[in-house]
Structure 1
Amino acid sequence: MAFDKETCTDFETALSKEWLETNGLGGFSSSTITSCNTRRYHGLLVASLPTGQAEQPFSMARLVLVNALEEWVLSGGTRYDLSVHQYPGVVHPRGDRNLTGFRLDPWPIWTYRVDTLVLEKSLTMIHGQNTVILTYKVRKENSQAELVIRPFLTCRPIHTLHQENPALQPQAEVRNGVALLNPYPGIPTVYLHQNAAGYVPGFNWYRQMEYARERDRGLEFREDCWAPGDFHFTLRSNQEAILVLTTEGAGYFDSTFLLNAERARRRKLLTGWEATDDVTHHLVLAADQFLVKRSLIAGYPWFDVWGRDTLIALPGLLLTTGHFAEARDILKTSAGLSREGLIPNRFAQAGSPAQYNSVDTSLWFLVSVFHYLRYTKDFDFVKDQLWDAMKSVIEHYQNGTHFHIHMDVDGLILAGQAGTPLTWMDAKVGDWVVTPRAGKPVEIQALWYNGLRIMEQIGGRIGDKERAGKWGGLAEKVWNAINREFWYEEGGHLYDVINGDEKDASLRPNQLFAVSLPFESVTPDRAGRVVNLLEERLLTPFGLRTLDPRDKRYASRYYGDPRSRDAAYHQGTVWPWLMGPFLTAYQKVHGKSPRVQAHLRAHLALLLTHLWESGLGTISEVFDGDMPHEPRGCIAQAWSVAEVLRVLREELGPSAPLQTARVPEKDPAAL
């Protein structure tokens, strides 16, 4: 993935392209291709530190330690800037004018031309460490050239902004050539390893740096950074200039070894995908970015671990890529956190207990276990480690659990009450529930039916045949109730929610799961009508709208302050993760002929070009409902990547035999 000088020097275009490096701990490094930060979350070293609380295994403290660099080259008595920052009314300096190219290979690499010198800069975050390595290589030498690097720091939590204050301790301690910074009590030491010819202390504040995307989001967007001094490097063709940003200590760093090991690790991730195209390679590498310890980050740069997102994304991120051990860890951990049939929607974080306010997360857990078995046939693990939690889900949903979740006399699941959103459409502004769905949401019934069929199949395989038979009988009752109560003949689709005598006929994508899940919960004729209508009214090149544009509540843009964005979040905004279930449902209805396969690929074509447009090599959280469908939200969303990767593997088929994972049976409901 590469961009030429024309793109790099088009300021607004270049600002829209953001790169992301991650470390498997929740930490990351991210900015734009010009290195001009546009978000409070941008930073070269965003460290993730454990909170030390055993009861919160997914808890992490993420800190923006090193925000950016001011870099310039001195050649022939002239200063040539490499960096770019935005201040009120001015962009300064303008290093983008010296930028001739940017590429991901496999990490960010910039090429600058200044005077007669061609300089290549690379940035790599090391897996398993809060460490970023920057290297500068001379591609065409000017013997008089000197590189100067001035780090900018804030050392703050990722969701906050930093202002000038007297508490800062900016002085760097230089020990054996390593600069140590301890700016605030309780903040980890930042170590700057380098092979500079010299370090010149010189504390300065850089005030009112502006972050354009924060302004667009209706949030505070100005920040004060500080710089401790300058590192001076002599540029030679036979020696790299190296700067290491880390919290890992002042001991010796073998940068060459770490870079070679990281390159080898990423190459290994592509084992079994060698014959696929570059787009798929980018998606496989993107999938790895979300895996953090025994969990999946929901999205970068601001989300942490969410149960629903983790379980929906697990098949695409972990099973298609052969990460079965990691999938087992997540399923086992989820089962261990189950309480009265509920699995947390949000795992415990520092100062915040686990949140169980979801009706669908536990049902997605059952579906994820089913997909795990399709790939692995590991029934012993499921029986020994997961089965009790799985039974608890069914029993508590039947008999009742928190949030008024219980089975009604017709076999369907009732959930929630006014003011408490429990489905994935959960936006809430103060006391205003934007998309109220208390009652019997359609996708919950589809998930409930699938959960019963899954338990029936697995129970029959592991010796729990008596209960398996009962679950199968209840599943029949649920299937009949869905088809009797949810079909809206006038509209040719399923009701979105039924609550007593009230039937919500809003055309939303939630009914898609009645077709896309392993066990269809509607008749074949109705499945076809649903899929065709959703294709006509909700499908866009980047996913499905969350509400029919003909609906008077439809919001065409996801933009503005938090209230404006929450008001649009599930009221028309496009979600790319829904492209996965749509394509699965389409193929179920229309078959797997070459014509259908070509149709599916055509639907994916524009979404795949998005990998070059916003978060490079990955897929955004949401898009505007209306053309031109601008990308919004997180630049990298786990289930967006997961569902595209899953359909590329399962629905469109691998281009070569899969080496690291077993291709499941063609029947998606077969174990």
Structure 2
Amino acid sequence: MISFGKDVVSNLKIALRKEWLLTNGLGGYASSTVIGCNTRRHHGLLVVPAGTSDDPGRKAVLLSKFEEVLQVGNNAYKISTNKYPKTVHPQGYLLIQEFTLSPFPRMVFMMEDIILEKEVFMPQGINAVVITYRIFPADRDVNFIISPLVAFREAGMLIEPHSDDYDLKMKNGKGFTMFHPEPELPPLYLYYPDDITFVTGGCWYHNFEYDTDKNTEKEFAEDLFDAGYFMAVLKSKTEFSLIASSEELPAGFDAGEERMRELKRLNSIREKCGSQTDWNEFMLMKAAESFISQERTPVEGFSGRSSIVSGYHWGSESKRDAMMAMTGLLISTGKKEECEKEFVRAVPLLRESIVSENPTGSNNDLVADAVEACLWMINSSYHYSSEFSGCAFIKDNLFGIFKEIISFLTGAGISSGIKMDTDGLLVSHRRKTDVPYHSLCSGVEGSAPKYGKEIEVQSLWYNALRIMEKYSKEYGVDGGSYSALADRVSQSIVSQFWYANGSYLCDFVSDWGQDTSFTSNQIFAVALPFTALPMDKAERVVEVVHRHLLFAFGLRCCGEINRYIYAGDHDHPSESLFAEKVMLRPWTLAAFIDAYLYVKGYSRVALVKANMILEPLLLHLNDAGLGYISECFDADKPNSPEGCIAHALSLAEVLRIKKKIDKLLMSSSTI
């Protein structure tokens, strides 16, 4: 359980940094801060998928929040909190006694002798959110007024000024009111009990300010529309729920039953944890479910297809990220069937991106990522074969396509310019403006374009060849070509990338020679299941990365000596790139631990040390996105979390490496 008392919730600066997030398995979510004050445009009580053919990952904020007033006798208590220019109003956060996430976000308010609990949860598989209020004691007359503030906009946008006669296109039904002012977005249904009255009306609330957007130099102010208000006269009733949905709910929908169903689902996740008392593992396992989104159509219901959402509050699908995250999200959590579905869905798209001269699917399956994604897919398939008994699935569904892709890369290469060179290494002849590892580590858009041979790609390439060699032996086919090529790649990596003067691996090699930048990319030469390096060089790589690049929340992408990296022409360094901010990526910490354990022989001492390295990220579960791992951290003190508050790859790798450490510790008997 995550819990904060008055020391946190009454401190505005601290409270606004802590955000909760609920998801519904469809890509929709509800999210705000622990005091209910929205600090970013992506916050909202109901945010739902609103994809189009041009933008399939688009989401819409339908219901931003509720404004609530509790009237006790002659006193009116406004329990919401909003930021306006130079002021906070109302200051409901001062009435909050406690916030808990156990497992749903819950705020406890106190006014005189009245205690009010507000709880939010999302049913799975429905674009709906349930807000439940509980009032104690129930022996006094209490009037409760709740006003829905609606947005009806894309999650990444802000509302432009509207006229005062804004038409919500409202329709009333039995127990609900529906609004549909924007035809290109889903409608909003508000359901309420029979003994609660909804009074239509409406006015604009002007100049809400979103601090997080403001701090990231985005537009940060907007107006929200008050669609009316609910009036509840509470005498003997101590609990009621309001439901917001983007669809008409089926007859007999019961919020209490849905809550119990969700609790049972979460309890089943807890039962799968290695230890029933390991709260960190439970939070990671629970959060992992949030990134698996089911596809549903209005007519047919669930299609059976799922996808991996790369992050919240933004982020759609990235095949490369999905392949990298599969091991943590699906394989280590025992989701064999879901993993197989993701393989089957991704393989033809990635194959087309590489083999086809006119690849499609450019929205999220970027051609520039295709080779790396395929190599990560082969790596994930290795973890799949290790985790689940039997290998028929890989043999029947993946092995043939893996062979085709590798054959293509070793032959003509793709027209956009990536193929195997005579030394066995993969060489790229295209200007890569989205280099996978530099851009992920630095956070700088379009950083470090590369031409030539990258160490991380060669490491993945060697690893894939050894995996294919292993599969060939298991399936009774000749794998000699993979073995011979892997030997050649290993020799080329050592001879071309090893920088003797610094005793580390160069970042990449091109016609200009070695780029001797000291970067974290070299850790993949040791971290993957198969390494091309002899042990002495592997130990040296881990040693220098540990000494110069290891920080609490991830690996720094480069050392201080390489603070400025090359961009554009290789003989003209661009000081604007990289000069402002360097990021730490949590998922790189897992790669480092893999490498560290390998060179230390998986000793118990090394495993204990690995746990210590991981500890700061586990503590981070109680900060920023509560129960999640952030996308990145500022490399400079105080290492502020940035980017998505819930990042699939970050969480997947932390979960994977934690489970690996725990499993090895259980089986270890010597120090």
- 1:612 and 2:602 are equivalent in the alignment: no
Please state how far the C-alpha of 1:404 moved relative to its aligned partner: 1.1
CA RMSD across the alignment: 2.7
Instruction: Tell me, yes or no, if the aligned pair for 1:621 and 1:633 is still in contact at 8 Å.
Output: yes
SS at match of 1:511: helix
Instruction: Tell me, yes or no, if the aligned pair for 1:308 and 1:361 is still in contact at 8 Å.
Output: yes
- For residue 470 of structure 1, what is the amino acid of its counterpart? S
Identity value in percent: 33
- 1:388 and 2:400 are equivalent in the alignment: yes
Please state how far the C-alpha of 1:59 moved relative to its aligned partner: 2.9
In 1, distance between residues paired with 2:488 and 2:587? 30
Query: Which of 1 and 2 has higher RCO (CA within 8 Å, sep 6+)?
Result: 1
In 2, distance between residues paired with 1:506 and 1:151? 54
In 2, distance between residues paired with 1:332 and 1:353? 17
Q: 2:282 maps to what in 1? A: 281
Q: 1:177 aligns with which of 175, 178, 186?
A: 175
Q: Deviations over 1:477-535 (max 9, x none)?
A: 00111111111111121000111232111111111111010001111001111111111
- For residue 528 of structure 1, what is the amino acid of its counterpart? E
- 1:162 and 2:159 are equivalent in the alignment: yes
Q: Please, which runs of 5 or more residues in structure 1 have no aligned partner?
A: 556-562, 658-664, 667-671
Structure 1 length-normalised TM:
0.91
Q: Deviations over 1:267-288 (max 9, x none)?
A: 1122221435111111111111
SS at match of 1:152: strand
- 1:303 and 2:315 are equivalent in the alignment: yes
Instruction: Tell me, yes or no, if the aligned pair for 1:548 and 1:554 is still in contact at 8 Å.
Output: no
- For residue 338 of structure 1, what is the amino acid of its counterpart? L
SS at match of 2:344: helix
- For residue 228 of structure 1, what is the amino acid of its counterpart? A
In 2, distance between residues paired with 1:649 and 1:238? 46
Instruction: Tell me, yes or no, if the aligned pair for 1:452 and 1:471 is still in contact at 8 Å.
Output: yes
Alignment CA distance shift 1:568-1:137 (3 Å) = farther
- For residue 334 of structure 1, what is the amino acid of its counterpart? A
Please state how far the C-alpha of 1:419 moved relative to its aligned partner: 5.5
Alignment CA distance shift 1:238-1:427 (3 Å) = closer
In 1, distance between residues paired with 2:579 and 2:112? 49
Instruction: Tell me, yes or no, if the aligned pair for 1:548 and 1:572 is still in contact at 8 Å.
Output: no
SS at match of 1:123: strand
Q: 1:6 maps to what in 2? A: 7
In 2, distance between residues paired with 1:142 and 1:550? 69
Please state how far the C-alpha of 1:594 moved relative to its aligned partner: 2.5
- 1:202 and 2:201 are equivalent in the alignment: yes
Q: 1:558 maps to what in 2? A: none
In 2, distance between residues paired with 1:566 and 1:232? 55
In 1, distance between residues paired with 2:532 and 2:136? 62
- For residue 246 of structure 1, what is the amino acid of its counterpart? S
Instruction: Tell me, yes or no, if the aligned pair for 1:307 and 1:343 is still in contact at 8 Å.
Output: no
Q: 1:44 maps to what in 2? A: 45
SS at match of 1:270: helix
How many residue pairs end up in the alignment? 641
Please state how far the C-alpha of 1:340 moved relative to its aligned partner: 4.7
More deviation, 260-269/588-597: 588-597
- 1:377 and 2:389 are equivalent in the alignment: yes
Instruction: Tell me, yes or no, if the aligned pair for 1:575 and 1:622 is still in contact at 8 Å.
Output: yes
SS at match of 2:61: strand
Q: Deviations over 1:86-113 (max 9, x none)?
A: 1111111111010111111111111111
Q: 2:487 maps to what in 1? A: 476
In 1, distance between residues paired with 2:269 and 2:664? 16
- For residue 491 of structure 2, what is the amino acid of its counterpart? N
- For residue 316 of structure 1, what is the amino acid of its counterpart? G
In 1, distance between residues paired with 2:600 and 2:633? 27
- For residue 36 of structure 1, what is the amino acid of its counterpart? C
In 1, distance between residues paired with 2:257 and 2:198? 25
Alignment CA distance shift 1:237-1:454 (3 Å) = farther
Q: Deviations over 1:369-427 (max 9, x none)?
A: 11111111342111222123211221122121143111011000101433544434347
Please state how far the C-alpha of 1:69 moved relative to its aligned partner: 1.0
- 1:405 and 2:405 are equivalent in the alignment: no
- 1:260 and 2:260 are equivalent in the alignment: yes
In 1, distance between residues paired with 2:80 and 2:155? 22
Q: Deviations over 1:426-471 (max 9, x none)?
A: 4799x984212221000100000011111111122123x22x1111
- 1:458 and 2:459 are equivalent in the alignment: no
Please state how far the C-alpha of 1:62 moved relative to its aligned partner: 1.2
In 2, distance between residues paired with 1:325 and 1:313? 16
Instruction: Tell me, yes or no, if the aligned pair for 1:343 and 1:356 is still in contact at 8 Å.
Output: no
Q: Please, which runs of 5 or more residues in structure 2 have no aligned partner?
A: 295-305, 567-573
SS at match of 2:561: coil
Q: 2:605 aligns with which of 589, 592, 595?
A: 595
Matches within 5 A, 1:65-104: 65-104=62-101
Q: 2:136 maps to what in 1? A: 139
In 1, distance between residues paired with 2:472 and 2:655? 30
Structure 2 length-normalised TM:
0.91
Q: 1:661 maps to what in 2? A: none
- For residue 350 of structure 2, what is the amino acid of its counterpart? S
Please state how far the C-alpha of 1:318 moved relative to its aligned partner: 1.0
Q: 1:243 maps to what in 2? A: 242
Q: 2:543 aligns with which of 532, 544, 549?
A: 532
Q: 1:321 aligns with which of 313, 329, 333?
A: 333
- 1:213 and 2:212 are equivalent in the alignment: yes
- For residue 553 of structure 2, what is the amino acid of its counterpart? F
Please state how far the C-alpha of 1:130 moved relative to its aligned partner: 0.5
- 1:109 and 2:106 are equivalent in the alignment: yes
Please state how far the C-alpha of 1:76 moved relative to its aligned partner: 1.3
- 1:336 and 2:348 are equivalent in the alignment: yes
Instruction: Tell me, yes or no, if the aligned pair for 1:151 and 1:229 is still in contact at 8 Å.
Output: yes
In 1, distance between residues paired with 2:323 and 2:583? 22
Alignment CA distance shift 1:507-1:64 (3 Å) = same
In 1, distance between residues paired with 2:144 and 2:346? 50
Q: 2:586 maps to what in 1? A: 576
In 1, distance between residues paired with 2:579 and 2:642? 12
Alignment CA distance shift 1:566-1:29 (3 Å) = farther
Q: 2:376 maps to what in 1? A: 364
Please state how far the C-alpha of 1:337 moved relative to its aligned partner: 1.2
SS at match of 1:360: helix
Matches within 5 A, 1:629-644: 629-644=639-654
Instruction: Tell me, yes or no, if the aligned pair for 2:332 and 2:656 is still in contact at 8 Å.
Output: yes
Alignment CA distance shift 1:457-1:492 (3 Å) = same
SS at match of 1:503: strand
Instruction: Tell me, yes or no, if the aligned pair for 1:121 and 1:137 is still in contact at 8 Å.
Output: yes
Q: Deviations over 1:616-663 (max 9, x none)?
A: 011100111112111111101111111111111113327889xxxxxx
In 2, distance between residues paired with 1:215 and 1:481? 49
In 1, distance between residues paired with 2:390 and 2:661? 23
In 2, distance between residues paired with 1:91 and 1:432? 34
- 1:153 and 2:150 are equivalent in the alignment: yes
SS at match of 2:231: strand
